[in-house]
Amino acid sequence: KEDDMVYRKTIYDHEDWNRHRCNRRHMRHMLAIATSRVVAGLLPPVVRLTMVASVIVLYNIFLTGYFPCVGILHVSSLPFQLAAPALALLLVFRTNASYGRYDEARKSWATIASRSRDMARQAVTFFRHPADASLLHHLLQHLIALPYCVKDHLTREDDLRKELTDIVKVEDDDLTAIMSSTHRPNYVLQAMSYIVHSSRISDMQKAVLDSNIVSLQDQVVGCERLFTTPIPLCYTRLTSRILVVWHLLLPLALWDQCTWITIPATFLSAAALFCIEEVGVLIEEPFSILPLSTISNTIRSNVVTILQQHQEWSILRNGL
Amino acid sequence: KEDDMVYRKTIYDHEDWNRHRCNRRHMRHMLAIATSRVVAGLLPPVVRLTMVASVIVLYNIFLTGYFPCVGILHVSSLPFQLAAPALALLLVFRTNASYGRYDEARKSWATIASRSRDMARQAVTFFRHPADASLLHHLLQHLIALPYCVKDHLTREDDLRKELTDIVKVEDDDLTAIMSSTHRPNYVLQAMSYIVHSSRISDMQKAVLDSNIVSLQDQVVGCERLFTTPIPLCYTRLTSRILVVWHLLLPLALWDQCTWITIPATFLSAAALFCIEEVGVLIEEPFSILPLSTISNTIRSNVVTILQQHQEWSILRNGL
Amino acid sequence: KEDDMVYRKTIYDHEDWNRHRCNRRHMRHMLAIATSRVVAGLLPPVVRLTMVASVIVLYNIFLTGYFPCVGILHVSSLPFQLAAPALALLLVFRTNASYGRYDEARKSWATIASRSRDMARQAVTFFRHPADASLLHHLLQHLIALPYCVKDHLTREDDLRKELTDIVKVEDDDLTAIMSSTHRPNYVLQAMSYIVHSSRISDMQKAVLDSNIVSLQDQVVGCERLFTTPIPLCYTRLTSRILVVWHLLLPLALWDQCTWITIPATFLSAAALFCIEEVGVLIEEPFSILPLSTISNTIRSNVVTILQQHQEWSILRNGL
Amino acid sequence: KEDDMVYRKTIYDHEDWNRHRCNRRHMRHMLAIATSRVVAGLLPPVVRLTMVASVIVLYNIFLTGYFPCVGILHVSSLPFQLAAPALALLLVFRTNASYGRYDEARKSWATIASRSRDMARQAVTFFRHPADASLLHHLLQHLIALPYCVKDHLTREDDLRKELTDIVKVEDDDLTAIMSSTHRPNYVLQAMSYIVHSSRISDMQKAVLDSNIVSLQDQVVGCERLFTTPIPLCYTRLTSRILVVWHLLLPLALWDQCTWITIPATFLSAAALFCIEEVGVLIEEPFSILPLSTISNTIRSNVVTILQQHQEWSILRNGL
Amino acid sequence: KEDDMVYRKTIYDHEDWNRHRCNRRHMRHMLAIATSRVVAGLLPPVVRLTMVASVIVLYNIFLTGYFPCVGILHVSSLPFQLAAPALALLLVFRTNASYGRYDEARKSWATIASRSRDMARQAVTFFRHPADASLLHHLLQHLIALPYCVKDHLTREDDLRKELTDIVKVEDDDLTAIMSSTHRPNYVLQAMSYIVHSSRISDMQKAVLDSNIVSLQDQVVGCERLFTTPIPLCYTRLTSRILVVWHLLLPLALWDQCTWITIPATFLSAAALFCIEEVGVLIEEPFSILPLSTISNTIRSNVVTILQQHQEWSILRNGL
């Protein structure tokens, strides 16, 4: 079902791209239309508007058929023609602003992944003093826990405790501390900062690791900014209202040229334009669309790989 | 009332997003139309233009009905059709430029939040010398005071003294100094810089804290830039004038095809297009829309949490 | 007069924004139309094109009235309808590119303000050795002189000598050196660099101050880039030519449907579209629009405030 | 054949640009239309839609010719005229979003080239201790191997082993290690980091080289982000569906005015609009279009040239 | 002649801007139309398309005049009206993408100028040891040579040897080395790096100069990227093909309403739209348009001025 596809929160691979570019995609998209959650979501308003159109059409056909003195409900299409470009631009620009937010969110998470790898790579190199071994362990655990905490903060999927226990395997003390903090990502970042500054590494190395924490902090705040601040509500309401008024009056303009075809024409026009708006609203809050779980898991496996590889090399060198 | 919603200066949470994506939003927006302050704000010009349209329509109906020799006021719609795309683009691009400013302002405040957290986190780690304890206290107080001062500078809400006393709890001397300075955000930044350079921390640590002050300074100047420089006035005036002339002449073009429907058609066209322009003007100065109080309070609570957490850990370690 | 308003080179304050958002702004803009310098500037080409339209209309009315065998000058409106979106896009995109340049210029000057404040703040903290006192004085004087030199470089308003003497109060030697240099902003930057490197401050502090000079240098080069390189001339010429040809032929297309109304219709169409182009050309070179004097004065007063505040604090501390 | 041209993955030189700007390019493009793989790729959906149009036309001509009581299949063109700007914007904005991705990918690879050159240049200067000679050799080999590994990661062309053996000439141990790692680019980056930190160069020099690794890491993650995250699928599906529905119904709207010309008109309209969509889909995943092999080879030859030049100079100086 | 104006590769000064904003510019542009190289360049395809239009018109007038049974060649204009917005957007977006490249190229060269000045300023300050005097001389010579080498690399104007000898005055050895290197800008950058690291300045100073080389390297790679990678060819071909097909068929659509005016109408439509495309292609490779010679000369004179000023000051101080 497409439901799942929309919410599968896909990480694309080579197969997916081939399928994406395949010239049968149009047919596939048409066949999946009935199972699309986006389409299902916008049916109610579209159906309501189509019903208004039907009432107008029925009135024009029947009532005026029997009582010729009653006026037909119709207007000229000229005002619609003059306003059409403005409506189109408004809709598509709003969708584009939403896409800008989506892109920004995706870049923030890519930066989280990038900085986590840097931090892991640098930490395993810097923490050489034996007494720092447990600090390193703690640091990497918090580093792995961070994306899960950010994800939980942004989506409230309520499986953070399970993830921290099963996937990150944080210790019980840390788990309690993280779960009971008021702002978990911030707590984890401060804990990482504290671990770094408690260690025996040089000041310059501390500065390098700290700059990663600064960058991670930026991403957390950036994601929070996207989450807490939608596109100005007056813009969103404006688009929505113009769209509704447009389709309430459209049947009057179509009547002269389309008679009963006004009904399917209104339906299709509403479906198309409300769908553009719906997509704009859907990707405006990108975190429920982005595959945050997969990205978090990738970060975890990256950090683990870096640690294992480093230990392997250390053994090799010490073995020699 | 929508008034409040527009000016509620919202921080969105999960509930709000669900409501935002809900497919009954269109109906909600339509029902709230009567209470919308944006709509109320643009009624006067729209009503005036509709009255002009009514005069033209009445003239065409009555005067020419009695005195057939008098010419009907009407023109061809062709020039309007040719100019419609330019009008639409002009309006929507201007709104987009305003959105760009809104986005920039929001990012500036996110950076203020981010840098404040960084500075607090680093300061509690760096200021270890007992003699620096009071400096740290002063530094954090000024750090918390900064967003309130910036907010006051940008919005003149006149509650700065109260906020500094009740929320930030600055000491009386500092309060007097801040309130009597000519440019409060700049004063607070310089005070922070002075505190940092008066302390016993290392030169490298001073450099790290100073780089945060530099970044905060950038945001203050950035916000001031947005505030003091609107979109070029000639651009704004051009849009406004074309819009007015367009709607003054529109009834003449609509008459042939719409007769008395010219009046509601002019009304709706003016309402839609002036509303696009109104939204563009409203978000052009974003600081009266953005939830600056909430962001400032969040920054305060973040800094306080960081300090408490650090003290807790210090006690734990020293206790061992 | 609006002349003055356009060239008042405004720094907006709270009053201005209230006025800017006031719903009577449209009326104000319409009333000011006669005094607008933008409008006055584009009258000549618009009037010339309207005269061409009048000749065509008169020819069609009178000559063909007396000599029916002579053909009426008219064409179908179809080619115009097909080309209208391209014309609109071309115009509005060009205006948008100009706005991008305006925005960039404003950001450059904000960065100059920001870096000047940073440099002053850091310099008063770093220059503690008594033997450096006169160097500090020189450095700050050059720092204050910089924006005036950049402004003079970009606008040739020919009051630099007066400003340097009266406002910045540079010494006579320096004044001669600055005025006789081939590229004044570059000279001032090099002088600042020389002062910094002649001082007794640490290497790291020199590096910090030098990074500010690097950033100021970037802004100077950035402003020069905007000034020396317009939007590609072929783009500008293309827009201008298409606009002229369009309005030369427009009367032929309007004749069939508008008869004598062709004349005012051509006038209004030309006025609107040439005005969009005019605004695009006006803000393409943003330095004659931006309030550079006010920004320079603000920078001066910022630097002076920082110095005074620092001296006050030093006295306080030393007094204790 | 154009196939090859599309996939020649061109690096342009002066000849190509002259050809690109030559005023016979339009004719060349028209003649190559039959061999274009893009065009071939979108033939199936276009042909299918044209067949639907043919069925409608044939029905209207023949069936209604014999059975006049059967209704002709046709609708007014008005709804199409009102929706045309929205369709156009949707298509072109999507293509533009894809172009943004293409541009970003190209910039990432330019940064990889830039950072590789920096790293090589700095490494040959820093690694002066004789005992580090073999480390330098290893480092440069991994540096050369990196773009091939990234290319393999993004395109699965399955010639990595051959390239690493023949072009990069990595040693057998390294080859095995690289080929067996789970994420080859990450492995190579970690290996480079390990080599740098194992060497005898100063801490500051390590920091400089490390910052290059950080930047290379960013590019790898950036490319992966583009690869794993397409433009939101709901956006892509929306465009595709609107396009198909549009062309399914278009023949009905064209019939009244075009009769049998509806068939070629539908064909051309579908060809043009599907082609815009196809180009948008084609450049959405830019790595199969970009000349990654050529860029990788250039990086290799750059690094080799830097090493040779450095050795030449060293001999010169030591010889003196 | 405009030829020269297009290729004068202008650096604008105050006079030019006054002329640029002058309200007689439209007339000037119209008068220069005959000498415009852009216009001349696109005449061939436009003339060819006009000839096709003429054949169609002649066929419709004469053949069908004598043989009424032969069908007139004409189609409805409806499909053209529906596709016009898409064509306009496609053209203008492509031109905009080209403008983005132009802007980027100009910014790259501004950064080269900025970094060259920084490097010269810092080098004259850092190289104080008498034994480094000849290294400084070499470094500055290579710094001046760099923009000429980059220019030569990007435009193949074949006067590099002359410029290096006459303007930069490099020594014979260096000239041979530069001219015989495979990639001259890269060679010069590596030579600068080698000189810096051979000198007796501190490590921190080396790092500062090196960061300038890194930034210059970025610009060289950035310019190369723009040069070697055009806008995706499939995009360019698509625009060109749609444009040609559009104008091949346009006469059929215009015939019904325009008869013989179809010929000039096709000519003007083709001229306008092909001109937009031509401008997009012309500025896509910006290096043949940008005034690189002038920028290179400015950089040279900047560096020379910095050196002279520094020597003057040194003499002054040593004289005291």
B129 lies within 8 A of chain A by CB:
no
CB contact under 8 A, E6 and C242: no
Q: How confident is the model at residue D266 (pLDDT cuts 50, 70, 90)?
A: very high
| Residues in contact with E173: Cβ distance below 8 Å, sequence separation at least 6, in sequence order | none
Per-residue pLDDT for A1 more than 50? Answer: no
Q: Are residues E110 and E135 in the same domain?
A: yes
Mutate to test the interface with B, among A46, A188, A228, A255 (most CBs of B within 10 A): A228
Q: Is residue A221 a part of any domain in this protein?
A: yes
In angstroms, the separation between the Cα of residue B193 and the nearest Cα of chain C is 8
Q: Are residue E158 and residue E269 in the same domain, yes or no?
A: no
Q: What type of residue sits at position A270? A: A
* E262 within a domain of the structure (yes/no): yes
Give yes or no for residue C220 having a pLDDT over 90: yes
The C-alpha atoms of residue C168 and residue C143 are separated, in whole angstroms, by: 9
Q: Is A320 on the interface with B (CB under 8 A)?
A: no
Residue B272, pLDDT > 60, answer: yes
Give CA–CA dist A100/A197, Å, rounded.
Answer: 37
Quote the pLDDT of residue B40: 82
> Tens of pLDDT along C148-159?
999 999 987 778
Strand, helix or coil at D46?
Answer: helix
Q: Is the dihedral of CA C148, C153, C159, C165 positive or negative?
A: positive
Record: contact E92-C97, CB cut-off 8 A: no
Ramachandran bin of D232, using left for φ above 0, alpha for ψ from -120 to 50, beta for the remaining angles: beta
Alpha helices in chain C (DSSP H): 2-7, 14-21, 25-31, 37-58, 64-66, 78-126, 133-155, 160-163, 172-180, 184-198, 203-228, 233-258, 262-282, 292-319
| The dihedral sign for the CA sequence C14, C17, C22, C28 | positive
Assess if residue B263 is contained within a domain. yes
Confidence at residue A6, expressed as pLDDT on a 0 to 100 scale: 44
Tell whether A40 lies on the interface with B, counting CB pairs under 8 A. no
Nearest to C192 by CA among C151, C149, C128, C130: C149
ipTM: 0.92
Q: Give yes or no: residues B30 and B112 share one domain.
A: no
Q: Do D76 and A258 touch (CB under 8 A)?
A: yes
Do residue A207 and residue B208 have CB atoms under 8 angstroms apart? yes
Q: What are phi and psi of E230, to 5 degrees?
A: -75, 170
Residue A21's pLDDT is 86
Q: What is the pLDDT of residue E320?
A: 56
Top mean pLDDT of A67-76, A201-210, E72-81 is at A201-210
pLDDT in tens, B162-177: 989 888 888 888 899 9
Q: Where does chain D have alpha helices with state H? A: 2-7, 14-21, 25-31, 37-58, 64-66, 78-126, 133-155, 160-163, 172-180, 184-198, 203-228, 233-258, 262-282, 292-319
* Residue D52: per-residue pLDDT: 95
Quick check: is D141 in a domain?
Answer: yes
Which residues 272-311 in chain E show a CB within 8 A of chain C?
Answer: 272-273, 275-276, 279, 282-283, 289-291, 301-302, 305-306, 309-310
Q: Look at residue E98 and tell me if it is in a domain.
A: no
Q: Tell me the one-letter amino acid at E193.
A: S
Please write the tens of the pLDDT for every residue from C296-316.
Answer: 999 999 999 999 999 999 888
What pLDDT score was predicted for residue A320? 56
Residue span of the structural domain in which B10 resides: 2-79+250-286
Percentage with pLDDT > 90 across chain B: 62
Same domain, E215 and E254: no
* Spatial separation of the C-alpha atoms in residues D103 and E104, rounded to whole Å: 12
Of C105 and D1, more confident: C105
Q: How many CB atoms lie within 10 A of CB D266?
A: 26
Output the pLDDT for position A183.
92
- d(CA A279, CA C74) in angstroms, rounded, equals 46
Same-domain status, E169 and E307 = yes
Q: Is the pLDDT of residue A14 over 90?
A: no
- Which residue, among D93, D116, D121, D254, would best test binding to E if mutated, counting the most E CBs under 10 Å from its CB? D121
Tell me if A32 is assigned to some domain. no
| Rounded Cα distance, B111 and A124, in Å | 30
Count of alpha carbons within 13 angstroms of residue B53, beta-carbon side: 30
Short-list D134, D145, D144, CA closest to D199: D134
**Residue scoring higher pLDDT (E38 or C219):** C219
- Cβ pair B187:C309 closer than 8 A: yes
Is-contact E37 E3, C-beta < 8 A? yes
Split at pLDDT 50, 70, 90, the class of D53 is very high
Is some CB atom of chain D closer than 8 A to the CB atom of A265? yes
User: Does residue B140 sit in the same domain as residue B123?
Assistant: yes
Provide the pLDDT for residue D1.
38
Average pLDDT over residues B132-144: 93
Higher per-residue confidence, D94 vs A71: D94
Task: Specify the pLDDT at position B231.
Answer: 92
What is the average pLDDT value for chain D, to the nearest integer?
A: 89
Q: Is the pLDDT of residue E3 over 60?
A: no
Other beta carbons within 10 angstroms of residue A159's beta carbon come to 15
The pLDDT value recorded for residue D227 is: 94
Digit-coded pLDDT (tens) for D268-297 = 999 999 999 999 998 999 998 898 989 999
Q: E67: helix, coil or strand?
A: coil
Give the H or E element holding residue B201.
none
What average pLDDT is seen over chain E?
A: 89
CB interface of A with B, residues 167-196, below 8 Å? 182-183, 186-187, 189-190, 193-194
The answer to whether residue E115 scores a pLDDT higher than 60 is yes
Whole-number percent of chain A with pLDDT over 90: 61
Contact between chains at A190 and B306 (C-beta distance less than 8 A): yes
Question: pLDDT digits over B220-239, tens only?
Answer: 999 999 999 999 988 999 99
Going from the C-alpha of B193 to that of each of B119, B131, B189, the distances in angstroms are 12, 18, 6
SS3 A149: helix
From CA C281, how far away is CA C275, in angstroms rounded?
A: 10
C73 or D308, which is more confident: D308
- Give the contacts of D296 (CB within 8 A, at least 6 positions apart): D147, D148, D151, D163
Q: Find the CB nearest D221 among A5, A26, A110.
A: A110
Identify the pLDDT of residue C318.
77
Q: Please report the pLDDT score of residue A3 as a whole number.
A: 43
Mean pLDDT of D43-50: 93
Across B216-221, average pLDDT: 96
User: Do E142 and E220 lie in a common domain?
Assistant: yes
Residue to substitute from B114, B247, B252, interface A, most A β-carbons within 10 A: B114
The pLDDT, as a whole number, for residue C36 is 80
Judge if E216 and E303 occupy the same domain.
yes
Mutant choice from D82, D101, D114 vs E, greatest count of E C-beta within 10 A: D114
**Among the listed residues C33, D244, E37, the one whose alpha carbon sits nearest the alpha carbon of residue A33:** D244
The first and second tokens of residue A146, run together, are 């961070």
Q: What value does the mean pLDDT take over residues E217-233? A: 94
The pair of three-digit structure tokens given for residue B317, joined into one six-digit string: 């370690």
Q: What is the mean pLDDT of chain A?
A: 89
C277 inside domain: no
**Amino acid at the residue D188:** V
Q: How much is the pLDDT for A319?
A: 67
Whether residue B143 sits in one domain with residue B107: yes
Number of folded domains that form chain A: 1
Q: Tens digit of pLDDT for each residue in E10-25? A: 788 888 888 888 888 9
Question: What pLDDT is attached to residue C15?
Answer: 86
Out of C65-69, D98-102, D296-300, pick the least confident: C65-69
Q: Which residues of D287-310 are buried (b: 16+ CB within 10 A; e: fewer)?
A: bbbbbbbebbbbbbebbebbbebb
Residues B265 and B203 in one domain: no
Terminal CA-to-CA distance of chain B, rounded, Å? 57
- Asked whether the predicted pLDDT for residue E7 surpasses 50, the reply is no
Among residues B174, B167, B162, the alpha carbon closest in space to that of B135 is found at B174
Q: Is residue E128 part of a domain?
A: yes
Instruction: Specify whether the backbone of C286 is left (phi greater than 0), alpha (psi in -120 to 50) or beta.
Output: alpha
Do B70 and B32 share a domain, yes or no?
yes
Mean pLDDT over A126-144 rounds to: 92
- In the structure encoding, which two tokens stand for residue A237, read together? 């309401």
> In this structure, are E122 and E199 located in the same domain?
yes
Residue closest to A313 by CA, chosen among A125, A110, A81: A125
Asked if the Cβ–Cβ distance from E117 to C186 is below 8 Å, we say yes
Distance of CA B117 to the CA centre of its chain: 23
Asked if C191 and E119 count as a contact pair (C-beta separation under 8 A), the reply is: no
Q: What is the pLDDT of residues B79-103, one digit of tens each?
A: 999 999 999 999 989 999 999 999 9
Tokens standing for residue D22 = 């030559």
For the residues B145-162, what does the mean pLDDT come to? 90
Read off the pLDDT of each residue in C243-248 and give the average, rounded to a whole number: 95
